[in-house]
């Protein structure tokens, strides 16, 4: 087999028959003409094919309502593919497009007949036929599509069938459970791969290794030493062009309830018994079940108005977008404070922050330690009488890195105290290493049957239980988002909330990402003090 060994951390299949020459793999992308498919799914598959991580007998079938030919569909996705011309052409050779509709099984003629014919033609003569269905579709049609797959594309061999489901998975606990009820009646949990691409990011995957393979973290990773933990998602761009979609969900459903809460669970979980998918997900679930439902006095929401972006351009406000209702109260910014009610984390605030149209784009985890008791150097610090806290920062983007902020003496005859950092910058340390895209890793995990980085049904249920009460309160008009200027750091109330729960502003030069572009003049007039 002309295929590389699986990368470290990818589960090797138990049966060698899965990828022998007489076996096959068909990957069906439903919603193949959509934005997600062309920007994420197809490029990830192209890279995996170029690196020879896909089985030799692999076929990729795209299916969507759009009336496209094979050639026009290939022309549509080709600009998004990465690699040499030879690699891209070789990948396009194994792709094919099938136009069609979606409807409930049993209503009229089989809409998947043409798709079924293509699958069976590729599988003809194979002893083991594996199928992966990637649903790059609105969740509202998941039940009918899954029913079609189950009833109209039956398998009569020893291969596996796996279903990849994209977020958002519901709007609240009830709608999420309704979706799960329909889908789980058709497929077992071990066949379902609820994808959260943040779990595929390199430094998120490093969290388990970093926490449990380094002894010096264990004694300090608790409420006695940690003051607060921030998990931050910031984007410079607004919702231009996708306001119609975004307005249905808002920033809490779109980012915090899935991406950030999953990262929080990895940060806070106990040591798993093994590295198996279920052992890790069991520990994450315990964290989520111990987390109190979000209270309305522990959340600040905002919506961006007109302002100046990082390049000095005047940008329109959220409500000025033609795809957004003029009276929308959809939050484009939120800061939430959650508490995990267990022995390790009791009383420690987990501050989850996400926003669009801000002053910078970055995603990071910040673990701020408590003050040093009986500090000998308070009068040597600048300004005098203040203490700078140690802080561990895991930056997912830009420039993936891990650094610890620590207090040191400045060089010279005087004893002047300052803060510096011990740092691992991935682009410097691993110069020739290629950091894989999240979708590449997650699709490969699905092929190999490793569910560690996918969300289990009970995890999803526990996460929605945390946020559903306050989301219903916001939807009913119980809270109105505070307006903040496009290109600013967000609502003023967010800094006040963070200070109230015990966060101490502690900025060093390494924390700054917004002055990388010379033309960008930071605007801090709406905030004091400055904080990430």
Beta carbons within 8 Å of 166's beta carbon, 6+ residues apart: 36, 135, 136, 137, 139, 195
Quote the percentage of the chain above a pLDDT of 90.
64
- Over residues 292-309, the mean pLDDT reads 95
What pLDDT is recorded for position 387? 66
User: By mean pLDDT, which of 16-25, 50-59, 218-227 is the weakest?
Assistant: 16-25
Q: What was the pLDDT predicted at 6?
A: 45
pLDDT of amino acid 375 = 74
| % of the chain surpassing 70 pLDDT | 88
d(CA 351, CA 299): 10
Mean pLDDT value of segment 116-121: 90
In this predicted model, what pLDDT tens digit does every residue of 351-385 receive, in sequence order? Answer: 999 999 999 999 999 999 998 887 777 766 655 55
Nearby residues of 497 by Cβ (< 8 Å), 6 or more positions away: 298, 299, 300, 335, 337
Q: Which residue has the higher pLDDT, 158 or 247?
A: 247
Does 223 score more than 70 pLDDT?
yes
Of the pLDDT bands very low, low, confident and very high (cuts 50, 70, 90), residue 310 is confident
Query: Does position 308 have pLDDT exceeding 70, yes or no?
Result: yes
State yes or no: pLDDT of 443 exceeds 50. Answer: yes
Please identify which of the residues 259, 453, 472, 503 carries the catalytic annotation: 259
pLDDT of residue 168: 84
Q: pLDDT value at position 191? A: 96
Taking alpha carbons only, the member of 246, 230, 366 closest to residue 303 is 246
Residue scoring higher pLDDT (101 or 365): 365
pLDDT top residue among 510 and 139: 139
229-233, 345-349, 366-370, 400-404: range with lowest mean pLDDT: 400-404
- Mean pLDDT, range 107-126, rounded to an integer: 81
Whether pLDDT at 180 is above 90? yes
Q: Which helix (H) or strand (E) holds 284?
A: helix 277-290
Strand stretches in 340-487, DSSP E: 349-355, 362-369, 391-397, 401-409, 417-425, 454-455, 482-485
- Max avg pLDDT among 10-24, 59-73, 112-126: 59-73
Per-residue confidence at 140, pLDDT binned at 50, 70, 90? confident
Residue 526: the pLDDT is 35
What pLDDT, on a 0 to 100 scale, did the predictor assign at position 527?
A: 36
CA atoms within 13 A on the CB side of 478: 13
**Does residue 408 carry a pLDDT above 70?**
yes
Whether residue 259 lies in the annotated active site:
yes
Q: Which helix (H) or strand (E) holds 90?
A: helix 85-93
Alpha-carbon span 27 to 20, nearest angstrom: 17
Q: What is the pLDDT of residue 3?
A: 46
Q: 258 near 264, Cβ under 8 Å?
A: no
pLDDT tops 60 at residue 12? no
Region of 43 (left: φ > 0; alpha: ψ -120 to 50; beta: rest) is alpha
The DSSP line for 469-531 is: HHHHHHHTTS--PEEEETTB---HHHHHHHHHTT------GGG--TTSSTT-----TT-SS--
- Per-residue pLDDT, 4: 44
For the chain, give the mean pLDDT: 87
**Helix/strand/coil percentages in the chain, nearest 5:** 35, 20, 40
Q: Is the pLDDT of residue 128 over 90?
A: no
Cis peptide before 168 (omega within 30 of 0): yes
pTM for this predicted structure: 0.88
- State the average pLDDT over residues 199-213: 91
Please report, to the nearest 10 degrees, the dihedral formed by the alpha carbons of residues 64, 69, 72, 77 taken in order: 40
Largest Cα span, the chain: 87
- The pLDDT of residue 58: 93
What confidence score (pLDDT) does residue 55 get?
87
Confidence of residue 312 (pLDDT cuts 50, 70, 90): confident
Those residues with Cβ within 8 angstroms of residue 172's Cβ, 6 or more apart along the chain or in another chain:
464, 467, 468, 471, 472
Report pLDDT for 123: 86
pLDDT of residue 420: 80
Model confidence pLDDT, tens digit, residues 496-530: 999 999 998 876 666 666 444 333 333 333 333 44
Q: Is a pLDDT exceeding 60 seen at residue 102?
A: yes
């Amino acid at each position: 087999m002309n295929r590389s060994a699986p990368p470290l951390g990818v589960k090797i299949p138990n049966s060698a028959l899965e990828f022998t020459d007489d076996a096959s793999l068909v990957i069906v992308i439903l919603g193949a003409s959509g934005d997600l498919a062309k920007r994420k799914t197809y490029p990830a598959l192209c890279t995996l094919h170029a690196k020879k991580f896909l089985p030799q007998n692999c076929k990729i079938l795209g299916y969507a309502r759009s009336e496209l030919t094979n050639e026009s569909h290939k022309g549509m996705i080709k600009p998004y593919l990465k690699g040499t011309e030879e690699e891209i052409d070789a990948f396009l050779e194994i792709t094919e497009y099938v136009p069609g509709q979606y409807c409930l099984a049993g209503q009229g003629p089989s809409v998947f007949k043409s798709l079924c014919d293509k699958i069976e033609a590729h599988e003809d003569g194979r002893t083991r036929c594996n199928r992966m269905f990637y649903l790059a579709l609105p969740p509202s049609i998941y039940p009918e599509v899954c029913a079609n797959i189950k009833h109209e594309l039956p398998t009569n061999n020893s291969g596996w069938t796996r279903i990849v489901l994209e977020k958002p998975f519901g709007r609240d606990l009830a709608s999420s459970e309704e979706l799960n009820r329909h889908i789980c009646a058709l497929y077992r949990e071990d066949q379902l791969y609820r994808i959260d691409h943040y779990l595929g990011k390199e430094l998120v995957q490093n969290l388990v290794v970093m926490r449990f393979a380094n002894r010096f973290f264990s004694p300090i990773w608790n409420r006695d030493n940690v003051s607060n933990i921030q998990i931050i998602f910031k984007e410079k761009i607004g919702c231009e062009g996708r306001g119609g979609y975004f307005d249905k969900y808002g920033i809490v459903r779109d980012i915090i309830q899935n991406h950030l809460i999953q990262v929080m669970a990895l940060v806070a979980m106990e040591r798993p018994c093994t590295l198996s998918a279920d052992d890790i997900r069991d520990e994450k679930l315990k964290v989520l079940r111990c987390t109190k439902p979000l209270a309305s006095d522990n959340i600040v929401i905002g919506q961006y108005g007109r302002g100046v972006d990082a390049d000095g351009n005047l940008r329109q406000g959220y409500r000025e977008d033609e795809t957004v209702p003029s009276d929308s109260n959809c939050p484009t910014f939120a800061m939430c404070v959650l508490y995990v009610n267990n022995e390790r984390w009791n009383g420690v605030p987990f501050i989850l922050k996400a926003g669009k149209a801000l002053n910078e784009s970055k995603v990071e985890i910040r673990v701020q330690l408590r003050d040093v008791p009986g500090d000998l150097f308070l009068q040597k610090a600048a300004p005098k009488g203040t203490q700078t806290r140690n802080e561990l920062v895991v930056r997912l983007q830009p420039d993936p890195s891990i650094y610890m902020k620590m207090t040191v003496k400045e060089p010279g005859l005087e004893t002047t105290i300052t803060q510096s950092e011990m740092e691992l910058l991935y682009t410097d340390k691993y110069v020739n290493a290629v950091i894989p895209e999240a979708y590449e890793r997650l699709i490969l995990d699905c092929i190999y049957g490793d569910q560690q980085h996918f969300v289990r049904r009970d995890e999803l249920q526990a996460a929605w239980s945390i946020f559903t009460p306050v989301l219903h309160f916001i939807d009913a008009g119980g809270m109105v988002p505070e307006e903040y200027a496009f290109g600013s750091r967000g609502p003023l109330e967010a800094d006040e909330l963070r200070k109230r729960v015990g966060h101490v502003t502690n900025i060093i030069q390494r924390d700054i990402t917004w002055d990388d572009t010379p033309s960008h003049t930071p605007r801090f007039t709406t905030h004091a003090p400055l904080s990430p």
